[in-house]
């Protein structure tokens, strides 16, 4: 069974995000980039399925500009077999990504597509769902456990009220949540080996899908800083302050 | 369990300017030699912090077509100023009074981190293997006592040093020659200096702490290529140091304060000195309306030629600031670090031919006959002159004697021995941050993007756990609370139950996750009680353009 894992390169989650002075976006110049943490979990899940003999091949795919190759190389060092970069300078929005992934699925014929439940940069939480709809496949989102049996997959989903266990027939799309696994450290010799694994670059235009952005960014701003609170001495003072200053009662 | 091993011709510890220059030169001279560079930062540049005004001389030698290859040298120094500050005033020092070392014509204002990122690309194009995210934590020896290589640290140990589920053992990297290019106060370099007794003939090393901020300023305040150095306020007359303000491209301004770690007053708070420096009328106008982008700190060597240990030992050598090749009169160490790396590479290529000699004696010789040595020899008495006769002594020395004097002054003591007890001083009252120009420590550290896995052994170790309270607190009011530019050391009450006896319920808390890897604590702790060991590879700051 082939598994396709879609990964996105995002600003590393330890970096304090800076908004550009002209409010057109966030600063990415020389900022450390990494694989989106949820995608890393998806990749770890795929590698474990391969290690347990269930999957035959793990392919990673990413969409965007050329420097993303570094992130794909790390994915190869973690354990993926080969990588695919769909190269485009166009801002990648969820629908466009889903369409491009649909085209990659048509070429590669995986039985399972794994993605992070969301990317930590735009937090859209849409791509997996859109891809499943475009492919007309079953979907298991926010997975905290994945069990494969024959041509079925059982997915435990993290939902507001607890855990939901669903069963999907293959092929299927699964998006991964935080508790699914703990991704491994990359070993130094594996980084070396990863340099020799295949990484194919494909121009997005070659896949012949419309990826024109549908959303327009008007302005990017830092959230307002929360005002520091005050301490009140007693309940009476609280009530007066709520009436006279906050004017809420 | 035994660790896995890999073998190369040359292993280089540290992807700073020294290590990367050595790697590039090696491959230029011999394309089939195998070279591996390991770097503890999560990526090349992540742990690099400098001013920096860069003297391009060695880059012209190493990669003459750097301009074509888009090296990040964008801003030539155009205008230079040296200011003497008092609390509210500033005086311009006329250029005829200044020593020649402060002339920066033809030099560039750069981000050293970005230059290292570019050098790493050039090195990789030549076939050098660079592995960021791995720290060298141990020197490995051959049976004959020569250096065999290094061991990278384990990943995935918990805070009691027990393996976690994802534990990975370290990897041994063996080489014919191992080059130690760890920068100022290197972990393994210091161990080697002790092990091979390399400092028997040299003076005690001496250091300074540099704390730096990067700003994006109002375009009307920005003049690309403008350089300001200041001395005087906010430091008192007995504390060595000064500040720098460099206008880079894209409305960016790098500024910082350098404080000699031989300072005496235990109440001195280098971070707060920098914050109040920015409030000076001559400085704050530049910053008003701007935004702080980054923050960080690093120590630098200021011992000069006298403090440089022996460079060569069987199986390896010391490079760059790990050896102490910094020209303190110029406040520059990038060009000398680069040159030392190139010379080490030349020495290796000559020595690899049979008969193979594991001691790179020719490196020593090459250094002594290069411009690098001449330069350091000329300014060898600059720091001791400053220490003895103050700024005037330094100027007279650099301006008039210019190294031609037939004597060499000594440093006498190590930095930590200069610290006096608190009874000699009153606590310094620093102004509160205004959160526009000056800030508190923790919001500053946040801008260094520092991250360490929380569940790992504490990488700052105390030889004697009682010293922080029984001696440091009692005698010096716990100076580590102030000199650490990351707030790692905090004196806290052990528990909330009030204890009647004074001090017994206090303890030193070590917030190791904040550590910027500057090494000031190892240098300044009055009883040399703190040891900096390497945390898990990839941990530490993630500096963007420092
Ligand atoms: C505030 C400040 C301002 C300065 N201004 C200037 C200036 O204007 N001009 C100038 O020329 N110089 C300046 N310098 C000095 C200059 O920065 C240094 O001389 C130079 O960085 C030395 O280069 P290096 O390669 O020897 O060491 P570093 O730059 O310190 O690089 C060492 C590298 O090795 C890595 N490393 C260390 N130990 C290990 C290990 N055990 N395992 C793996 N990796 C390791 C580190 O993470 C780092 O990336 C300044 C320094 C400071 C602090
Ligand atoms: S703990 Fe030591 S090395 Fe780390 S930031 Fe503080 S002074 Fe520097």
Q: How far apart are CA B389 and CA B544, in angstroms?
A: 39
Residue B118 lies in a domain: yes
Q: How many angstroms separate the Cα of B199 from the Cα of each of A155, A186, A243, B416, B461?
A: 63, 38, 73, 18, 24
Which range has the worst mean pLDDT, A187-201, B96-110, B208-222?
B96-110
Q: How far apart are CA A118 and CA A37, in angstroms?
A: 9
Residue A7 lies in a domain: yes
So what's the pLDDT on residue B481?
96
So what's the pLDDT on residue B359?
93
Q: Are residues B150 and B25 in the same domain?
A: yes
So what's the pLDDT on residue B498?
52
pLDDT in tens, A198-247: 999 999 999 999 999 999 999 999 888 777 788 888 999 999 988 988 88
Last residue of a domain, one of B234, B269, B300: B300
Residue A175 lies in a domain: yes
Ligand closest in space to the Cα of B518: 2
Residue A24 lies in a domain: yes
Q: Residue A1's pLDDT band (boundaries 50, 70, 90)?
A: very high
Q: Are residues B136 and B197 in the same domain?
A: yes
- Which of A27, A41, A57 lies closest to A175, judged by CA? A41
Residue B402 lies in a domain: no
- Which of B537, B539, B532, B481 lies closest to B191, judged by CA? B532
Q: Residue B357's pLDDT band (boundaries 50, 70, 90)?
A: confident
What is chain B's Cα-based Rg?
23
Residue B438 DSSP SS3: coil
Residue A249 lies in a domain: no
Q: How far apart are CA B382 and CA B419, in angstroms?
A: 22
CB-CB under 8 Å, A188 with B134: yes
Can you tell me the mean pLDDT for A52-81? 96
Can you tell me the mean pLDDT for B109-133? 97
CB-CB under 8 Å, A21 with B291: yes
Give the chain A residue nearest B451 (alpha carbons): A14
The number of folded domains in chain B is 3
Percent above pLDDT 90 for chain B: 83
B136, B538, B544: best to mutate for the A interface, most A CBs within 10 A: B544
So what's the pLDDT on residue B389?
67
Q: Are residues B257 and B332 in the same domain?
A: no
Last residue of a domain, one of B300, B317, B345: B300
Give distance in angstroms: CA of B207 to centre of ligand 2: 14
Whole-prediction pTM: 0.92
Q: Are residues B436 and B474 in the same domain?
A: yes
The number of folded domains in chain A is 1
Which is it for strands B241-247 and B171-180: parallel, antiparallel or unpaired?
unpaired
Can you tell me the mean pLDDT for B48-66? 97
Q: Measure CA B526 to chain center.
A: 20
CB-CB under 8 Å, A30 with B113: yes
Q: Are residues B99 and B222 in the same domain?
A: yes
So what's the pLDDT on residue B399?
63
Q: What phi and psi, each to the nearest 5 degrees, are found at residue B258?
A: -110, 125
Rounded mean pLDDT of chain A? 94
Q: How far apart are CA B484 and CA B512, in angstroms?
A: 11
Q: What phi and psi, each to the nearest 5 degrees, are found at residue B515?
A: -60, 135
CB-CB under 8 Å, A32 with B542: yes
Give distance in angstroms: CA of B470 to centre of ligand 1: 35
Rounded mean pLDDT of chain B? 92
CB-CB under 8 Å, A16 with B446: yes
Domain with A91 in it: 2-244
So what's the pLDDT on residue A29?
82
So what's the pLDDT on residue A22?
83
- Residue B520: CATH number of its domain: 3.30.70.20
Q: Are residues B52 and B145 in the same domain?
A: yes
Q: Measure CA A132 to chain center.
A: 15
CA distance A155 to chain B (A): 24
Helices (H), B280-360: 281-287, 320-323, 334-352
> Is the CB of B518 inside a 6 Å radius of any atom of ligand 2?
yes
Q: How far apart are CA B262 and CA B413, in angstroms?
A: 9
CB contact at 8 A, B266 and B477: yes
pLDDT in tens, B367-384: 999 999 999 998 887 777
Q: Are residues B124 and B194 in the same domain?
A: yes
CB-CB under 8 Å, A21 with B216: yes
A17, A22, A28, A32: best to mutate for the B interface, most B CBs within 10 A: A32
> Is the CB of B298 inside a 6 Å radius of any atom of ligand 1?
yes
So what's the pLDDT on residue A28?
87
Contacts of B439 in chain A (CB under 8 A): none
Give the chain A residue nearest B167 (alpha carbons): A185
CA distance A188 to chain B (A): 7
pLDDT in tens, A85-124: 999 999 989 999 999 999 999 999 999 999 999 999 999 9
Shortest-distance atom of ligand 2 to CA B518 = 8
Q: Residue B396's pLDDT band (boundaries 50, 70, 90)?
A: low
Shortest-distance atom of ligand 2 to CA B480 = 7
- Which of B88, B99, B31, B310 lies closest to B196, judged by CA? B310
Percent above pLDDT 70 for chain A: 100
So what's the pLDDT on residue B415?
94
Q: How far apart are CA B297 and CA B294, in angstroms?
A: 11
Residue B405 lies in a domain: no
A189 touches chain B (CB under 8 A): yes
Q: Are residues B507 and B434 in the same domain?
A: yes
Domain with B357 in it: 4-68+113-202+309-378
Q: Residue B257's pLDDT band (boundaries 50, 70, 90)?
A: very high
Q: How far apart are CA B542 and CA B448, in angstroms?
A: 6
User: Residue B532: is its pLDDT beyond 90?
Assistant: yes
User: Residue B230: is its pLDDT beyond 60?
Assistant: yes
> Is the CB of B326 inside a 6 Å radius of any atom of ligand 1?
yes
A26 touches chain B (CB under 8 A): no
CA distance A64 to chain B (A): 21
- Residue B21: CATH number of its domain: 3.50.50.60
Q: Residue B4's pLDDT band (boundaries 50, 70, 90)?
A: confident
Q: Residue B456's pLDDT band (boundaries 50, 70, 90)?
A: very high
Residue B331 lies in a domain: yes
- Find which of A22-26, A216-220, B341-345 is predicted with most confidence, using mean pLDDT: B341-345
A23 touches chain B (CB under 8 A): no
A32 touches chain B (CB under 8 A): yes
- Residue A37: CATH number of its domain: 3.40.50.620
Is pLDDT larger for residue B390 or for residue A221?
A: A221
Q: How far apart are CA A247 and CA A245, in angstroms?
A: 5
| Predicted complex ipTM | 0.84
Interface list for chain B against chain A, based on CB atoms closer than 8 Å: 4, 6, 42-43, 45-46, 111, 113-114, 117, 129, 131, 133-134, 152, 155-156, 165-166, 168, 171, 216, 251, 291, 293, 446-447, 449-451, 542, 544-545
CB-CB under 8 Å, B165 with A182: yes
CB-CB under 8 Å, B165 with A21: no
So what's the pLDDT on residue A245?
85
Last residue of a domain, one of B300, B323, B338: B300
pLDDT in tens, A113-155: 999 999 999 999 999 999 999 999 999 999 999 999 888 999 9
Q: Are residues B192 and B85 in the same domain?
A: no
Q: Are residues B121 and B243 in the same domain?
A: no
So what's the pLDDT on residue B401?
65
- Which of B367, B328, B33 lies closest to B177, judged by CA? B33
CB-CB under 8 Å, B544 with A29: yes
Give the chain A residue nearest B453 (alpha carbons): A14
Q: Residue B390's pLDDT band (boundaries 50, 70, 90)?
A: low
Task: Classify the phi-psi angles of B185: left when phi > 0, otherwise alpha if psi is within -120 to 50, otherwise beta.
Answer: left
Q: Are residues B229 and B374 in the same domain?
A: no
So what's the pLDDT on residue B496?
53
Residue A57 lies in a domain: yes
Ligand closest in space to the Cα of B227: 1
Residue B510 DSSP SS3: strand
So what's the pLDDT on residue A165?
97
- Residue B294: CATH number of its domain: 3.30.9.90
* Pocket mutation for ligand 2, best pick of B297, B515, B525 (most atoms within 8 Å of C-beta): B515
Q: Are residues B213 and B188 in the same domain?
A: no
pLDDT in tens, B69-115: 999 999 999 999 999 999 999 999 888 877 777 789 999 999 999 99
Q: Burial-class residue B214 by CB neighbours within 10 Å (0-12, 13-18, 19+).
A: buried
pLDDT in tens, B406-423: 677 776 789 999 999 999
């Amino acid at each position: 069974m082939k598994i396709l894992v879609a990964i996105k390169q995002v600003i590393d989650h330890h970096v304090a995000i800076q908004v550009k002075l002209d409010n057109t976006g966030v600063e990415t110049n020389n900022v450390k980039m990494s694989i989106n943490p949820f995608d890393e979990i998806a990749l770890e899940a795929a590698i474990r399925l391969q290690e347990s003999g269930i999957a035959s091949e793990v392919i990673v795919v990413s969409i965007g500009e050329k420097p993303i190759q570094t992130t794909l190389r790390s994915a190869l060092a973690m354990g993926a077999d080969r990588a695919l970069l769909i190269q485009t300078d166009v801002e990648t929005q969820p629908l466009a990504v889903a369409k491009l992934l649909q085209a990659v699925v048509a070429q590669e014929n995986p039985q399972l597509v794994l993605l992070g439940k969301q990317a930590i940069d735009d937090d859209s939480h849409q791509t997996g769902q859109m891809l499943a709809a475009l492919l007309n496949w079953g979907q298991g989102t926010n997975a905290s456990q994945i069990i494969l049996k024959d041509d079925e997959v059982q997915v435990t989903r993290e939902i507001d009220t607890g855990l939901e266990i669903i069963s999907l027939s293959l092929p299927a799309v699964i998006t991964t949540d935080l508790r699914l696994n703990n991704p491994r450290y990359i070993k130094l010799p594996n980084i070396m080996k990863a340099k020799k694994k295949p990484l194919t670059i494909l121009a997005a235009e070659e896949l012949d899908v419309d990826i024109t952005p549908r959303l327009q960014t008007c302005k990017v701003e830092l959230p307002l800083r929360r005002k520091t609170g005050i301490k009140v001495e007693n309940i009476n003072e609280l009530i007066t302050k709520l009436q006279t200053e906050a004017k809420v009662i | 369990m035994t660790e896995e091993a890999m073998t190369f011709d040359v292993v280089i510890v540290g992807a700073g300017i020294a290590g990367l220059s050595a790697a590039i030169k090696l491959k230029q001279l011999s394309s089939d030699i195998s070279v591996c560079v390991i770097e503890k930062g999560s990526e090349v540049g992540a742990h690099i912090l400098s001013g920096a005004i860069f003297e391009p001389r060695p880059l012209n030698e190493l990669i003459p077509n750097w301009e074509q290859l888009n090296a990040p040298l964008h801003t030539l120094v155009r205008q230079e100023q040296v200011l003497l500050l008092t609390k509210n005033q500033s005086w311009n020092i006329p250029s005829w009074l200044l020593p020649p070392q402060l002339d920066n014509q033809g030099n560039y204002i750069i981000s050293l981190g970005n230059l290292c990122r570019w050098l790493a690309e050039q090195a990789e194009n030549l076939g050098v293997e660079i592995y960021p995210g791995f720290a060298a934590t141990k020197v490995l020896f051959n049976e004959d006592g020569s250096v065999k290589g290094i061991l990278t640290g384990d990943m995935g140990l918990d805070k009691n040093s027990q393996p976690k589920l994802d534990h990975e053992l370290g990897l041994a990297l063996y080489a014919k020659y191992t080059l130690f290019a760890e920068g100022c106060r290197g972990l393994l370099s210091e161990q080697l200096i002790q092990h091979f007794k390399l400092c028997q003939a040299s003076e005690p090393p001496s250091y300074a702490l540099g704390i730096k901020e990067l700003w994006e300023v109002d375009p009307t305040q920005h003049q690309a290529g403008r350089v300001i150095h200041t001395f005087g306020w906010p430091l008192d007359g007995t504390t060595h140091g000064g500040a720098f303000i460099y206008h880079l491209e894209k409305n960016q301004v790098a500024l910082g304060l350098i404080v000699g770690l031989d300072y005496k007053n235990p109440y001195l708070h280098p971070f707060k000195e920098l914050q109040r420096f920015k409030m000076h009328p001559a400085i704050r106008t530049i910053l008003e309306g701007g935004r702080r982008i980054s923050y960080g700190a690093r120590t630098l060597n200021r011992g000069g030629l006298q403090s440089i240990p022996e460079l060569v030992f069987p199986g390896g050598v010391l490079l760059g600031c790990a050896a102490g090749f910094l020209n303190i009169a110029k406040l520059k160490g990038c060009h000398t670090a680069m040159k030392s790396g190139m010379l080490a590479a030349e020495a290796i290529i000559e020595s690899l031919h049979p008969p193979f000699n594991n001691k790179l004696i020719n490196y020593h010789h090459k250094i002594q006959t290069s411009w690098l040595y001449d330069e350091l020899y000329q300014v060898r008495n600059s720091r001791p002159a400053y220490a003895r006769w103050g700024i005037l002594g330094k100027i007279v020395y650099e301006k008039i004697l210019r190294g031609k004097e037939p004597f060499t002054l000594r440093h006498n003591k190590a930095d930590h021995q200069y610290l006096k007890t608190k009874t000699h001083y009153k606590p310094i009252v620093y102004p509160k941050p205004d959160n526009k120009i000056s800030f508190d420590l923790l919001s500053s550290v946040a801008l260094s993007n520092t991250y360490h896995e929380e569940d790992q052994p504490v990488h700052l170790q105390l030889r004697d756990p009682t010293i922080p309270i029984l001696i440091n607190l009692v005698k010096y009011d716990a100076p580590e609370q102030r000199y650490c530019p990351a707030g790692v050391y905090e004196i806290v009450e052990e528990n909330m139950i009030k204890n009647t006896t004074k001090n017994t319920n206090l303890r030193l808390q070590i917030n190791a996750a904040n550590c910027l890897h500057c090494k000031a604590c190892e240098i300044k702790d009055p009883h040399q009680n703190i040891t900096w060991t390497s945390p898990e590879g990839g941990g530490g700051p993630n500096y963007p353009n420092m």
